[in-house]
């Protein structure tokens, strides 16, 4: 099999946990559902730098004893790295997220 396929699979796997991917590419309902599952205290997310803020919301959620969960003690280093990655990707997405913020407002998590 072509090594490029493996690289694409790894990139896809990493982006599936990325805060920017979860807030910019996926729908608002998926973002709200994900953060509800983490029992976060956040009630809304601004669209500008939403990926980094998404990760802060995960850290602000109820403790999760699962070792695979991003909000668990074992997952905290991943979330911290993801905050940095999301911050960079959020900066690249600024023109789009500013447009969406002006047009649609915050991503509401509690209805």
**For residue range 6-44, what is the model confidence (pLDDT) as tens digits?**
655 555 545 555 888 889 988 899 889 988 888 888 899
Tokens representing 6 are 């493996």
Quote the domain boundaries for residue 65: 3-108
Mean pLDDT rounded to a whole number for the chain: 80
Name the strand (E) or helix (H) holding 44.
Answer: strand 44-45
More confident residue, 39 or 73: 39
Domain count, the chain: 1
More confident residue, 84 or 67: 84
Stated pTM of the model: 0.75
Length of the chain in terms of residues written: 111
Closest CA to 25 of 100, 75, 82, 108: 100
Name the strand (E) or helix (H) holding 108.
Answer: strand 107-108
Query: According to the model, what pLDDT value does residue 60 have?
Result: 81
């Amino acid at each position: 099999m072509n090594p490029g396929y493996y690289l694409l699979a790894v990139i896809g796997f990493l982006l599936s946990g990325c805060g920017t991917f979860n807030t910019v590419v996926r729908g608002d309902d998926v973002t709200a559902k994900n953060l509800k599952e983490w029992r976060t205290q956040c009630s809304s997310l601004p669209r500008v730098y939403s990926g980094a803020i998404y990760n802060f919301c995960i850290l602000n959620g109820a403790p999760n004893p699962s070792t695979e969960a991003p909000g668990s003690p074992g997952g905290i280093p991943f979330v911290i790295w993801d905050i940095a990655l999301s911050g960079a990707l959020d900066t690249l997405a600024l023109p789009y997220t500013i447009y969406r913020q002006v047009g649609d407002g915050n991503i509401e998590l509690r209805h």
